[in-house]
Amino acid sequence: MSQERKNDFFLPGDQPPPHDLNTEKAVLGAILSDEESRNIVFEKFPYSDKSNISYFFFPAHQRIFRAIHSLYNEKGKYIDILSVSSSLKKEGILETIGGHEYLIELQSNIITTANIENWCEVLKNLAALRKMISVCANAINKCYSAQIDGVEDLLGELESSIFEVRNEKSKSSATKVSEHLVDAVKYLENLSSRKIEATGISTGFHTLDNIIVGLKNQEMVVIAARPSIGKTSLALNIASHIALRKKKSVAFFSLEMSAEQLTRRMLCSIAEISEKDFYDKRFDQNEFTSKWSRITGAASELGGAPFFIDPTPALDINELKARALRLKANHNIDIIFVDYLQLMQAQISRSDNRQVEVSKISVGIKAIAKELNVPVIVLAQLNRQAETQDKPKLSHLRESGAIEQDADIVMFLHRDRDPQKDNTIECVEAELIVEKNRNGQTGIAQLQFFPKIMTFRSLSKHIE
């Protein structure tokens, strides 16, 4: 290798970023020599002009890989040293990479391609390290120029950047169906035995579990309704059941209510006492002692629950990803709730509208469910047209049809709001309409809503 090419390969600085010259040469030699190796490499290294990770450190190797990939994408183009050399010559960069002789050198050094997948993994790890160095260097520069009141935003941005590196590094490839047969058969066996916990996380509402068979990992579940119907109350009922009864870790992202408000609502719901009763002092000293005992008992129960509340308003989807990833790493979160989708933000260009932004948010939420292997329950608002018809429809999802497309399950919480205005009414009938269920049946779960304690229950049975 000429001294001129060596200078072209290395970036300036006291210490070059992590790289492995011999492994890069081995991978390029393999894809020049063997079609099977070529297919493996292009599966492992999906190249695009927008890719933010270069799997090859040396510029000459990057150019060779780009030329081979271009030929690979052209139908009928045979890939060998001559075709790659010709492609590089047309671009005027053949001599820059070392000429025809260097391509021959790459190919002649290959004795076996048996370790091609291991070589790819080495280059992916090195590329991730280089990207991390770039992210950290950029972070240092931003820290010097950041405003004091912008620290939280900067932390979210840095966490998102780290998440992107991890996401790029962990992209999965195709697997043989036989690898999943045992799990599939076991799932069907549990389904036939009606073992909800083995197929998904129980919601605590048996009428709903009978339809959706629990909340399953990697699924995005949307609970939609018009304002003041009880979306947050239902979500808290499900979340507290999962944390308290099933002993699973819950992350609740509340963009609308504070952590204190959510905690008070859960306390009163668990204790089955109206918050307003304390304000109105509707009971004597004995009743007060009894009810206060129930509140302290509920507080003790909640205090030991693995329930985490993040009340950050106007969360960006990348911030949500970073925070969810951190909670998963630190507390092994089993399920995520987001209240609610239309209050979130996403980075879009000035020419894009709100529908594009909501679409990016929806896609991002589904990606979180798959990446963290947990169910994500996201609340959403319906548009005003839902009030003019008897029952909500998928077309009533506010601001974007992408929510309907990305969600695995879409449920509509529906009830009459007028009876709630009558303080003498203890209970209101409600319906949870499962309008879409990608992996199962649809139907209607009949519920009861107790407005004084903001609690839902299955119609024929209390929460299990």
Q: Where are the domains of the chain?
A: 3-169, 190-458
Q: What is the pLDDT of residues 320-367, one digit of tens each?
A: 888 888 888 889 999 999 988 888 888 777 777 888 888 888 888 998
Flag whether pLDDT at 440 surpasses 90. Answer: no
154/294 Cα distance (integer angstroms): 43
For residues 164-178, give the mean pLDDT. 65
Amino acid occupying residue 103? L
259/89 Cα distance (integer angstroms): 63
Name the band, by pLDDT with cuts 50, 70 and 90, for residue 369. very high
Amino acid occupying residue 351? S
Name the band, by pLDDT with cuts 50, 70 and 90, for residue 308. very high
Any residues with CB less than 8 A from the CB of 43 and at least 6 apart, and which?
Answer: 173, 174
User: How remote is the C-alpha of 369 from its chain's centroid?
Assistant: 4
Percent of the chain with pLDDT over 70: 83
Q: What is the pLDDT of residues 227-268, one digit of tens each?
A: 888 899 999 999 999 999 999 999 999 998 898 999 988 888
Residue 365 is predicted with a pLDDT of 92
CATH architecture of 3-169: Orthogonal Bundle (1.10)
Map tokens 């139907």 to a residue: 443
Q: Which residue has the higher pLDDT, 235 or 167?
A: 235
195/209 Cα distance (integer angstroms): 11
Flag whether pLDDT at 462 surpasses 60. Answer: no
For residues 151-174, give the mean pLDDT. 67
Residue 9 is predicted with a pLDDT of 41
DSSP one-letter code for 301: H
Q: What is the largest CA-CA distance in the chain?
A: 96
Residue 5 is predicted with a pLDDT of 43
Residue 432 is predicted with a pLDDT of 92
In the three-class reduction of DSSP (H, G, I as helix; E, B as strand; rest coil), residue 291 is classed as helix
Q: Residue 324 in contact with residue 251, Cβ under 8 Å? A: yes
| 140-144, 197-201, 235-239, 417-421: least confident range | 417-421
Q: How is residue 54 written in tokens?
A: 């270069």
Any residues with CB less than 8 A from the CB of 266 and at least 6 apart, and which?
Answer: 236, 240, 298, 302
Q: What is the pLDDT of residues 184-210, one digit of tens each?
A: 777 677 766 666 566 789 999 988 998
Long-range contacts of 40-49 (CB under 8 A, 24+ apart): 40/116, 40/117, 40/120, 41/116, 41/120, 42/69, 42/72, 43/173, 43/174, 44/117, 44/120, 44/121, 44/124, 44/173, 45/120, 45/123, 45/124, 46/171
- Helical H segments across 109-177, by residue range: 116-145, 151-169
Please report the sign of the dihedral spanned by the C-alpha atoms of residue 60, residue 66, residue 69, residue 70. negative
CB burial class (10 A; 0-12, 13-18, 19+) of residue 78? exposed
236/261 Cα distance (integer angstroms): 12
380/370 Cα distance (integer angstroms): 20
CATH topology of domain 190-458: Rossmann fold (3.40.50)
240/224 Cα distance (integer angstroms): 19
In the three-class reduction of DSSP (H, G, I as helix; E, B as strand; rest coil), residue 431 is classed as strand
